[in-house]
């Protein structure tokens, strides 16, 4: 990006994701490529961690619109050690924790705010620093630049100082495919940032395709 999805999601620093956000991806195509239709993923059982694959070699590209500017941003998983994954986002290094409950920011040696967390059912919620997150919907079919994705999960984060809403759509075996940040301006919310998945490269594919 730079903007990182963590910066985007925070309006400017929430993950991606999100913080963030991301292995069922053979036919999605390489990052930067045209639209593809992803094979249908069995609706159950899928865990939160399956919605953000963070093995070394995953790469994503995003079209970002922020404050009237358009940016092409790139992310790549550059290291994975145990339950920790390191993502390069422009000049930023982002660290995530992969836990039995889902994917979270790494907070020192501990676990910080979750980007996506089990159970993946509408209305499920968890606490964030200065806010909360909840699952808005599951089982959605969503089309973006990178293709059409089935069985998507939408997570909404609400935070204060400033009051803002970050809505992230996760596709199974892919990660965040859309992020929208809205900030309260008086009595209404104004969308300040959008990030849309342009392409994805899974481990073993030619990274030059990005």
More confident residue, 138 or 15: 138
Range of weakest confidence among 14-18, 97-101, 146-150: 14-18
**pLDDT(27) > 70:** no
> Average pLDDT for residues 90-102, to the nearest whole number?
94
- Going by pLDDT thresholds of 50, 70 and 90, the confidence category of residue 84 is very high
Q: Are 30 and 24 in contact (CB under 8 A)?
A: no
In the block, residue with structure tokens 């982002």: 94
**pLDDT(170) > 80:** yes
Range of weakest confidence among 114-123, 134-143, 161-170, 180-189: 180-189
In the sheet that holds 125-128, the strands lie side by side as 110-117, 102-107, 92-99, 84-89, 69-81, 59-66, 188-201, 175-185, 164-171, 147-159, 131-144, 125-128
- pLDDT one-digit tens code per residue, 39-73: 455 554 689 999 999 999 999 999 999 878 899 99
N residues, the chain: 210
- pLDDT one-digit tens code per residue, 109-126: 889 999 999 999 999 999
Neighbours of 4 (CB within 10 A): 29
């Amino acid at each position: 990006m730079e903007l990182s999805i963590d910066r985007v999601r925070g309006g400017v620093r929430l993950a991606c994701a999100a913080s963030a956000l991301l292995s069922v991806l053979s036919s999605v195509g390489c990052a930067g490529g045209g639209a593809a239709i992803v094979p249908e993923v069995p609706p159950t059982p899928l865990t939160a961690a399956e919605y953000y694959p963070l093995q070394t070699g995953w790469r994503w590209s995003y079209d970002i619109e922020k404050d009237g500017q358009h940016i092409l941003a790139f992310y790549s998983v550059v290291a994975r050690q145990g339950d920790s994954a390191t993502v390069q986002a422009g000049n930023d290094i982002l660290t995530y924790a992969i836990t039995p409950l889902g994917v979270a920011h790494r907070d020192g040696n501990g676990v910080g705010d979750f980007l996506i967390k089990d159970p993946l059912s509408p209305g499920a919620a968890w606490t964030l620093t200065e806010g909360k997150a909840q699952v808005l919907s599951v089982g959605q079919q969503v089309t973006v630049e990178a293709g059409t994705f089935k069985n998507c999960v939408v997570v909404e984060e609400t935070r204060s100082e400033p009051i803002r809403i970050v809505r992230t759509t996760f596709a199974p075996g892919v990660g965040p495919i859309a992020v929208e940040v809205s900030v309260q301006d008086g009595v209404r919310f104004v969308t300040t940032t959008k990030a849309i998945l342009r392409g994805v490269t899974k481990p073993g594919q030619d990274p030059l395709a990005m």
